[in-house]
């Protein structure tokens, strides 16, 4: 779908007014591009903080025995790493891309509720501060014990942790409010602000993935909010929702948490799969294969993904009928996920493919994410999971799912759209160097963890048997390379903004869609007149 861009002259008139200047431009911004940029910068900062905690974890695991960290601090860092990466880096980065691209792709002048968009973003730094405080508070006098629960916050341990848990619960409430507000805004924008004549089944798949993701967020985040509120009541107001001694049930929290936690995986992955749906046809120079089945597939993922949560709890003593149901449901979900992967492969089939950095990431994602999916099927099988659970095999599995499935997809999106956002082309050679270092070091970090997990090394424990030393050393060295490689990403982004060559409006030869009809960078106010769709 392309558009006749009758409104460029009008856009340039708006441009003469220019954006507001100084700090006010950012503090009070209601512009989807500025807010998108702020989300992306926030996510990048959190990526480095979460990455620093991961590198500390790998430093400790470089050798057996206690090297640098006390056991509680180690578990605090494990918790810190997960929460910063999930809530601080990946979700805001995906929201940043949604802010930037959805209005451009559907021909809308901005998000439907621009002031609420501002609020959704500015809650995040407050939430991020509370999150970081929850890790730091225990180091001050009277700060209580550290959060050693992992991101799952299971009671009874989370009831016994010191006041840092209250900071974390407050942070989760704030993050949840931000996510729900952003989701409402995205859904309203997609439903009400599309260019005249653009039907739902004509929207770019990236927009579809965000529609599904936003609904998922609205469906599951309130349940997490309820769960942590009950936790707060158990901690301070004498209730016993999760306290067995008072007649409560700690497993109830696990159900509430994973009712959110499992769909969260799809919340992280789907936007990245939407980015692939933009990249793969562009660099294959072919239309996307199976549009309707992709839409159906992601709706199926949403529906099935919401009813298989307890596969994270096989070992808590559920009935045979319950675990059988959750096992079968979990395995069934591989069908729509596989369908999406096969659609992307079919798009590439016999295409005139070129391998610029975004496409390199896209191909790597399909290979590595599929591998993560296969180990996921191993873990879905109840008797096998009884052996694998809580081992490094699980760590390897979910990093193969989440890094390619979510993070690499976002990197691909950054390289794909950065020229459009900034008006400058990135250095392709540096981009490819970043890709190869990133992907090779990722695999060397996490592939050995499958073996040490299968051999019996547990996760979330600071020390390990000496027989696992060699593989842990390999894993740690590669992890340092992987972590440091992100400095190159930062350099590439800064270099692009400062010195990159002027980018064309249609940056990529095979790119199709409304966003490419706008100048690079798009004017401060874009699509002030709705585009006329040429079908």
Partner 1 sequence: MTTEMTTDMTPELRRRNVRTAWLLAAFAAFLLLTSIPFWKGLANMIAASGL
Q: Which residues bind partner 1 (CB under 8 A)?
A: 14, 17, 20, 24, 28-31, 109-110, 112-116, 180, 183-185, 187-188, 191-193, 218-219, 221-223, 225-227, 229-230, 238-241, 248, 252, 256, 259, 525, 528
Tally Cβ neighbours within 10 Å of residue 356: 19
The neighbour count for residue 186, using CB atoms within 10 Å, is 27
Contact of 232 with 169, CB cutoff 8 Å? yes
CB 301 within 8 A of CB 270: yes
Using the minimum distance from each CB to partner 1, give the nearer residue, 183 or 330: 183
Q: How far apart are CB 182 and partner 1 at their closest, in Å?
A: 11
CA–CA separation, 508 and 419 (whole Å)? 10
- Closest distance to partner 1 from the beta carbon of 464 (Å): 38
DSSP 516: G
What's the token pair of residue 115?
Answer: 């002031």
Over 294-312, what HEC string results?
HHHHHHHHHHHHCCCHHHH
Give bridge partners of residue 3 from the DSSP assignment.
Answer: 533
Alpha helices in 315-427 (DSSP H): 320-332, 334-348, 357-380, 382-388, 392-402, 409-422
Cβ nearer to partner 1, comparing 196 with 383: 196
Q: How far is the CB of 514 from partner 1 (least distance, A)?
A: 17
CB of 17 to partner 1, least distance (A): 8
CB of residue 31 to partner 1, shortest distance in Å: 5
Q: 94 near 206, Cβ under 8 Å?
A: no
CB of 70 to partner 1, least distance (A): 35
Q: Residue 7 CB, nearest distance to partner 1 (Å)?
A: 11
Q: Could you give the CA distance from residue 86 to residue 297 in angstroms, rounded to a whole number?
A: 24
Those residues with Cβ within 8 angstroms of residue 172's Cβ, 6 or more apart along the chain or in another chain: 87, 224, 225, 228
Kindly report the number of other CB atoms within 10 A of residue 67's CB atom.
12
Strands 424-425 and 532-534: unpaired
Read out DSSP for 137-170?
GGGSTT------S-TT--TTHHHHS-THHHHHHH
Is 303 or 487 the residue whose CB approaches partner 1 more closely?
A: 303
Measured from the CB atom, the residue of 77 and 518 that comes closer to partner 1 is 518
Which lies closer to partner 1 via its Cβ, residue 248 or residue 413?
248
Nearest residue (CB) to partner 1, 192 versus 292: 192
Half-sphere exposure of 224 (CA within 13 A, CB side): 30
Nearer to partner 1, 115 or 501 (CB): 115
- Kindly tell me which of 256 and 479 has the beta carbon lying closer to partner 1: 256
**Which residues are paired to 2 by β-bridges?**
534
By beta-carbon proximity to partner 1, the closer residue of 252 and 437 is 252
Question: Least CB distance from residue 479 to partner 1, whole Å?
Answer: 38
Closest distance to partner 1 from the beta carbon of 114 (Å): 6
Q: Whole-angstrom Cα distance, residue 186 to residue 498?
A: 31
Compute CA distances 491 → 9, 415, 440, 498, whole Å. 35, 13, 20, 10
Considering beta carbons, is residue 116 or 444 the nearer one to partner 1? 116
- At its nearest, how many Å lie between partner 1 and the CB of residue 295? 20
Shortest distance, position 305 Cβ to partner 1, whole Å: 16
Give me the helices (H) in 237-351, please.
250-284, 291-305, 320-332, 334-348
Tokens of 262: 């499992």
Nearer to partner 1, 60 or 264 (CB): 264
Q: Which is nearer to partner 1, 249 or 463 (CB)?
A: 249
Q: 324 vs 528, which CB is nearer to partner 1?
A: 528
Category of 511 on φ-ψ map: left (φ > 0), alpha (ψ -120 to 50) or beta: beta
Using the Cα atoms of residue 372, residue 377, residue 379 and residue 384 in order, give the sign of their dihedral. Answer: negative
Q: From the CB of 78, what's the least distance to partner 1, in Å?
A: 27
Q: How far is the CB of 173 from partner 1 (least distance, A)?
A: 11
């Amino acid at each position: 779908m392309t558009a006749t861009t009758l409104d460029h002259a009008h856009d340039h008139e708006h441009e003469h007014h220019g954006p507001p200047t100084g700090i006010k431009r950012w503090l009070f911004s209601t512009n989807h591009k500025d807010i998108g940029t702020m989300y992306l910068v926030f996510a990048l900062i959190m990526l480095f903080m979460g990455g620093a905690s991961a590198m500390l974890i790998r430093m400790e695991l470089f050798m057996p025995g206690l090297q640098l960290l006390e056991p509680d601090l180690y578990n605090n860092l494990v918790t810190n790493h997960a929460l910063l990466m999930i809530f601080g880096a990946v979700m805001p980065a995906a929201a940043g891309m949604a802010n930037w691209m959805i209005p451009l792709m559907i021909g809308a002048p901005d998000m439907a509720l621009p002031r609420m968009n501002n609020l959704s973003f500015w809650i995040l730094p407050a939430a991020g501060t509370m999150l970081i405080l929850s890790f730091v508070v225990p180091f001050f006098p009277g700060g209580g014990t550290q959060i050693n629960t992992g991101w799952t916050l299971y009671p009874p341990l989370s009831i016994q942790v010191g006041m840092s848990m209250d900071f974390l619960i407050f942070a989760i409430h704030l993050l949840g409010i931000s996510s729900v507000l952003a989701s409402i805004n995205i859904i309203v924008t997609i439903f009400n602000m599309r260019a005249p004549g653009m039907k739902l089944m004509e929207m770019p798949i990236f927009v579809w993935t965000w529609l599904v993701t936003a609904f998922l967020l609205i469906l599951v985040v309130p349940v997490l909010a309820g769960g942590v509120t009950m936790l707060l009541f158990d901690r301070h107001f004498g209730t016993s929702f999760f306290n067995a001694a008072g007649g409560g049930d700690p497993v109830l929290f696990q159900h509430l948490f994973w009712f959110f936690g499992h769909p969260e995986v799809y919340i992280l992955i789907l936007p990245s799969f939407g980015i692939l749906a933009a990249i793969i046809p562009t660099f294959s120079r072919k239309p996307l294969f199976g549009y309707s089945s992709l839409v159906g597939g992601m709706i199926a993922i949403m529906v099935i993904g919401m009813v298989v949560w307890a596969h994270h709890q096989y070992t808590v003593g559920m009935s045979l009928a319950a675990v059988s149901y959750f096992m079968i449901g979990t395995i069934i979900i591989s069908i729509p996920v596989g369908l999406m992967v096969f659609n992307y492969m079919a798009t590439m089939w016999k295409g005139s493919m070129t391998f610029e950095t975004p496409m390199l990431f896209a191909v790597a994602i399909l290979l590595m994410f599929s591998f993560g999916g296969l180990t996921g099927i191993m873990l879905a099988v109840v008797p096998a999971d009884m052996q694998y659970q809580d081992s490094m095999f699980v760590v390897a599995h979910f990093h193969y799912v989440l890094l390619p499935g979510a993070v690499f997809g976002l990197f691909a999106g950054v390289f794909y759209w950065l020229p459009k956002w900034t008006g400058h082309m990135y250095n392709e050679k540096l981009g490819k160097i970043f890709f190869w270092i990133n992907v090779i070091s990722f695999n060397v970090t996490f592939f050995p963890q499958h073996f040490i997990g299968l051999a019996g090394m547990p996760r979330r424990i600071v020390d390990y048997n000496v027989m696992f030393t060699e593989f842990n050393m390999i894993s740690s060295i590669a992890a340092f390379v992987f972590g440091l490689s992100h400095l190159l990403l930062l350099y590439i982004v800064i270099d692009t903004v400062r010195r990159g060559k002027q980018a064309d409006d249609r940056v990529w030869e095979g790119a199709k869609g409304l966003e490419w009809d706008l100048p690079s960078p798009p004017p401060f106010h874009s699509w002030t007149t709705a585009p006329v769709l040429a079908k």
